Homo-oligomer: A and B are copies of this chain.
Amino acid sequence: MLKEERHQFILNEVRIHNRVLLTDIADLLKVSVDTVRRDIKELHNTDQLKKVHGGAISLGFNTYSPVGKKVYSLEKKSQIAEKAITLIKEGQVILLSGGTTNLELARRLPSKMKLTCFTPSLPIAVQLLTKSNVEVIFIGGRLSKDSQITVGGSAINMLSEIKVDICFLGTNSIHPVQGLTEFDWEIVQMKKAMIHSSRKVVSPCISEKIGSLQRYKICGTEDVDVLITELEPWDIKLDAFKTMNLQLL
């Protein structure tokens, strides 16, 4: 692998996540942390990102990180993404909401499978640009700076005109009784519209988010067709969902 490739990769990660960990990059690229450290140093010296202890952040980084510290539960999200990909078939039309899990999914889309992919997420669109086999259609609208997805009437309007095969709905909170909830009103509206635009709703969700509750309701569990977690099928956290009419992965 060329040094320039690594540089591009790192910059891309920074663009998408606003921050990267040295160790994650080293892991992903299978090189030593020293090499990544040197790469980041170079990119720092040429003002392409900002080097910080343990990694790097984007230059215009606005210190606000919605999820808190561990943006990367890379391991779990990768597992979920791998499971999710098994649901996709050649030639299908899919819809990816925002969120880091869906970003992982986008990253792992097989490069041979022809797909059409709708998304309102800027990072996911950037990621999908590298997949020559995927036709990307971006849902336009006002860009929310926090979530880096488009929101608002225009976006919802565009969603109302489509009907896709599968929607992968990144989920902040899922509760056996209350269903899916969200703390941002505009995102709630977007997600509702996405559900209406899809034949099948898949909810990739890391286990920490199971049982949690936010201010606004998106939909009940009955609107979700498949719930994907990183847990084993017999895990106790999933018990509450087993009686329901939804597939567990």
A residues contacting B by CB (< 8 A) are 2-5, 7-8, 11-12, 15, 19, 21, 46-48, 52-55, 57-62, 64-65, 67, 122, 125-126, 128-132, 135-143, 145, 148, 150, 154-155, 158
Contact = CB atoms under 8 A, between A and B. Distances in A.
A127 to B, nearest CB: 8
A133 to B, nearest CB: 10
A125 B140 contact: no
B143 A138 contact: yes
A122 B129 contact: yes
Contacts of A57: 2, 4-5
B137 A52 contact: no
A143 B154 contact: no
Given A11-B65, A46-B67, A57-B2, A143 B137 contact: yes
A37 B202 CA distance: 43
Nearest to A59: B130
Contacts of A148: 129
A61 B3 CA distance: 13
A139 B122 CA distance: 12
B142 A52 contact: no
